[in-house]
Amino acid sequence: MAEIALPYPARRRSWLPADLGYWIVLGVVLLVVLLPVTLIIVNSFETAQPGQPVSYSLQGWTTALTDSALLKAIFNTLKLVLARQLVAFPVAVVLAWILARTDIPGSQWLEFLFWVAFFLPALPVTLGWIMLLDPQYGLINQALKLLPFIHASPFNIYSFWGIVWAHFAGGTLAIKVMLLTPAFRNLDSSLEEASNVLGASPFRTFIKVVVPVMTPVLTVVLLLSTIFSLQSFEVEAVLGFPIRFFVFSTQIYFLLQQQPPLFASAMALSTVVLAAMVPLIFVQRWASGRRRFTTITSHFKGHKMRLRRWRWPVFGLVLGVAVMITLVPFTFLVLGTFMRLFGFFNLANPWTTAHWTQVLHDPLFTRSVTNTLLLGGGTVVCALTLCTLVAYIVMRTKFAARTVLDFASWLPATFPGIILGLGLLWLFLGTPILRPLYGTIALLIIATVVASMTTTVQMLKGNFSQLGFELEEAARVEGGSWLQAFRKVLLPILMPTLLMVGALSFISAARNVSTVALLATSGTRPLSLLQLDMMVQGSYEGAAVVGVIVVLMTTGVALVARLIGLRTAIAH
């Protein structure tokens, strides 16, 4: 595995207080990540049902690797992942570059709209697109069939490309823009200016200078997108089931829902994904370790390209994309909360406020709001503390085990949330000292921190890789300690990213369904599980009400983080 190149010479190792802190961080990560992963792998060979004597065999693996339905689900997953990345990644790179590197009007608020798109809960947003693109009663299809030359519904949300579109408009594009824009903003403009002085066109500069320098961040975002695409569940469950289109995650869910549950086969499939993801982790480390990718130094220079006459047309294009993936689905999500029957506009009196009254006066809703705030706040504090330390140790120290720490931080993203939650459940129930935490908010916080660890650590690593070491060295030459250098030099530069990581951690906790489903009790269920319960019971209107509240809650947190981040952003 390629080592991360550090520009300063290696010093003689000595036992320092910092070394003890590094080992403590490694121990915590291994406890909450490696042990559940180990339990998942071991239980892929466990064929006995709970309560029966332990027995091991290859039956689970045989079923997972020979069943035609499971093999087709794996093929469908790979096909869907490839389509999503081919469509969304190039668009996201261009949009992020426009927002960060050009003088497009309102770039900061356009970027925030992509944040909002990511905050929208997947299930209600998918229902919104069904209202628009259902082949029978979808409003867009109904409007187009009024034209004399269109006789059949041109769009079908219940199809392969319908699923791709739901992902593209529901978060696949937004999360890439969110991750890439801060990195493009931190790119020293002197690199582009040097290319322009040599006579290179803006397009050639973008291809030959910007993209190579941004390789670590682009690689991380692409790998994260690929991994998270493998984990996606909600959209495929809603849109794929009517057409019998199953993917890896939905197939695992059905294996666990059978009576008796096929735990071994589900664990075996999850282990297969882990085996497929490990080479990608090595590729990412190899790509980022081949050369230095520092873009922020003591001589940093920020400058934006002037679009001139293209300024407003480009603004209109970006605004149109942002509105399409935010305002359109959110509008229909809100409309659904006031409908007597979700999706049916042709009733004599389709509108009512009864659903809002019913949800807001439900004691379960009040308790779920409290649980969500506690879960989100605890996740933010723990994720920022742990993941910042992990990213710093991996990228800025000579800690001997930093490669192991980096590898461990990738593992949570290689398992579907339901499997990761099951691994944590086995860990806490099987460890006497940890057993009292079962069913508490503390356990849910641990689960959500672990589930989001890969994203937060990789985001922070991408920014650490852009910071020149002379920034810290200058502070130390002046007599500052490590803590002073971190607090006064690195922290102000990283503040926009830290705020975004904090907002994403809160949002992940507020939206998380699969990871906490097996860990929450009736007294600790957050809004996300309350929404899922309503949808299972067929109360889509009430679920839409909860979805709107979750969106308002998470958007408010993101708006505060955005306003504070803009004041400290390096672009300013």
Please check whether residue 365 lies inside any domain of the structure: yes
What pLDDT is attached to residue 367? Answer: 93
pLDDT in tens, 42-61: 888 877 665 567 777 888 88
- Higher-pLDDT residue of 124 and 358 is 358
Count of the separate structural domains present in the chain: 1
**In which band, very low, low, confident or very high, does the pLDDT at 445 lie, cut at 50, 70 and 90?**
very high
- Asked, for residue 543, whether it belongs to a domain, the answer is yes
Tokens 């792998």 belong to residue: 41
Is position 9 within any domain?
Answer: no
Report d(CA 313, CA 296) in Å as an integer.
Answer: 31
Is 410 inside any structural domain?
Answer: yes
**What is the DSSP secondary structure assignment for residue 152, as one 8-state letter?**
S
pLDDT for 474: 63
pLDDT category at 3 given cuts 50, 70, 90 is: very low
Give the per-residue pLDDT at 141: 85
- The token pair at 45 is 């060979």
Instruction: List helix spans (H) across 397-479.
Output: 402-410, 417-430, 441-464, 470-477
Question: Looking at the domain assignment, is residue 5 inside a domain?
Answer: no
**pLDDT of 375:** 93
Predicted confidence (pLDDT) at residue 294 exceeds the cutoff of 80: no
Q: Which residue has the higher pLDDT, 288 or 382?
A: 382
Residue of higher predicted confidence among 490 and 238 = 238
* CATH code, 331: 1.10.3720.10
Q: What's the domain range around 388?
A: 17-48+57-568
Q: Give the H/E segment covering residue 535.
A: helix 527-536
Model pLDDT for residues 511-567, shown as the tens digit of each residue: 887 788 778 888 888 998 888 788 767 787 888 888 888 888 877 887 777 677 655
Query: Do residues 318 and 95 lie in contact, with contact meaning Cβ atoms separated by under 8 Å?
Result: yes
Compute the distance between CA of residue 503 and CA of residue 116 in angstroms, rounded to an integer: 11
- Please list the residues that pair with 339 across neighbouring strands: 351
pLDDT bracket for residue 444 (50, 70, 90): very high
- Residue 335 included in any domain: yes
Cα atoms in the Cβ-side hemisphere of radius 13 Å centred on 526? 33
Please give the pLDDT value at position 285.
Answer: 60
Give the Å distances, CA to CA, from 216 to 286, 314, 455. 10, 27, 14
6 in a structural domain:
no
Q: Shortest CA distance to 544 belongs to which of 557, 526, 530, 554?
A: 530
pLDDT at residue 248 is higher than 50: yes
Q: Quick one: what percent of the chain has pLDDT higher than 70?
A: 80
The answer to whether the CB of 496 falls within 8 A of the CB of 550 is: no
Question: Whole-number mean pLDDT of the chain?
Answer: 78
* 343 pLDDT above the threshold of 70: no
For residue 330, what are the contacts with CB-CB under 8 A and spacing of at least 6? 116, 120, 125, 128, 551
Angle, in degrees to the nearest 10, between helices 363-396 and 441-464: 40
| pLDDT band of 378, cuts 50, 70, 90 | very high
Residue 11: pLDDT band (50, 70, 90) is very low
Q: Distance between CA 440 and CA 414 in Å, rounded?
A: 25
The least confident of 11-15, 385-389, 499-503 is: 11-15
